[in-house]
Amino acid sequence: MSRDQHKVLIANRGEIAVRIMQSCRDLNLAFVAVYTKEDAASGHVALARELGGEEALVRIHNYLDAGDILSAADAKGATAIHPGYGFFSENYRFARRVVERSRPMHFIGPSWRVIRDLGDKINTKRLARSLGVPTVPGSDRAIYDEMEAETIAQQLFDYQEKQGVARPMVLVKASAGGGGMGIDEVHNMNRFRQTYRRIRNYSQRQFNDPGVLIEQRIFNYNHLEVQIVSARGGDDPVHFGTRNCSVQSPGRQKRIETAPGFFPEGLSYSFDARKVMDDIVRHSLSIAREIKYDNVGTWEWIVTPKGDPFLMEVNTRIQVENGVSAAIARIKGQDGVNLIREQIRLGLGEPMGYSQDDVSFGGVGIEYRIIAEDTQNRFAPWTGRIEKIAWQQQDWLKMHTHVPKDRPYQIPTEYDPNLALAIIWGKDLEEAKARGAAFLDDFVLEGVDAQGVALKSNIAFLREKTKDLLEF
């Protein structure tokens, strides 16, 4: 089937739905968007109506109702589903259902087997170690024997002491747990056995599996990512550089992303920052080749103050911060890289059309996540009505938002209060930071809650953190 015969159902909302629509338009692809009652006033609904009319819209009950999504796809004759990020984007069972049902469609993402295999953190760690890729020190399988657990813990404490860690710590985690459940910290071996037994018993009760993972707890680090893109078949993956996501909320939610991951051209590091970036790219590509990764994905790393990189996990989806990597990339010398467009094109089975030698990089990109939140109150979400959102157009700025500019917008309490993404480009770090600061100073965001209290946002937090970007 040729590209212009496809129709993509966008199984998401907000900013990412807007960007998928725009990418479909660029590719001359038909699309259909879904929305819930709570999202009827969202800009993604308005854009779908503008670009495709009422035929391009389907109201559903819930973005997490697979039956709703697939029924909408069938009703509109969609040939592909783009899950965006979150929701079904890393659900291998949903991806498998999309491609193996009686009326199969394309899943715009990696194959379901890849999602399954890399979604298992233990499996990913084991695969990485088999390829010589450094991972967070600790076990790469569930531990069921108490003496083996103690041996691993002692090795981790010894390793941290050799690294000069002032306060060594080991994590004991229920291997079958998730979402922060069944995790405890141990500061010395005297407390380890008691903690191990408690977590083992908890895991048995909660998950019917007493397996436990033992890992080093790393506190002081930079969070780097490697952006990988590959066509179906996964034979020749290409990287689109590194980015630094170390500016986060106390809950470890990203707030600023910067590409590239370090800036050795203008900043001093206590390690060879260029080598670290080259190493994590090389390691990420080795895993992508081994598992035949076949779409867009992100390899997440932590880097210690001594420059030791450890692979944390692989995210088998497009990420919010894809645009900051695209901002510094060129394909065959051409600006305007759009990784969502690449994801759709490759997900429909088109060939890559370029190699790593065709990808070049220039400048520095900064992405700000603009969010209605109270940064003075543990970054608690703010709920209310956006009265005005405005910014000055610049050739070095890209804005992505689902918040309408021409009317007030009530933030739905059912969803997160992310309002916009701003992506700034500069020829170097100093210019990017200066432009970022100027953007934040001029950005207009006004609103009130139900009690008439003025909107709270993270603009001041972003402005403060801009000063020290990429410093370690």
Show which residues are catalytic. 317
From start to end of 115-196, where are the E strands?
A: 170-174, 183-186
Give the whole-angstrom CA distance, residue 392 versus residue 209: 56
Number of neighbouring beta carbons within 10 Å of residue 133: 23
Task: Name the nearest CA neighbour of 322 among 344, 337, 305.
Answer: 337
Phi and psi, residue 74, nearest 5°: -70, -40
The two three-digit tokens of residue 439, written as one number: 């953007």
Instruction: Map tokens 């543990």 to a residue.
Output: 378
The two three-digit tokens of residue 86, written as one number: 């979150």
3-state secondary structure 287-335: HHHHHCCCCEEEEEEEECCCCCEEEEEEECCCCCCHHHHHHCEEECCEC
Contacts of 450 (CB under 8 A, 6+ apart): 383, 384
Q: Tally the C-alpha atoms within 13 A of residue 221's C-alpha that lie toward its C-beta.
A: 20
Contacts of 204 (CB under 8 A, 6+ apart): 210
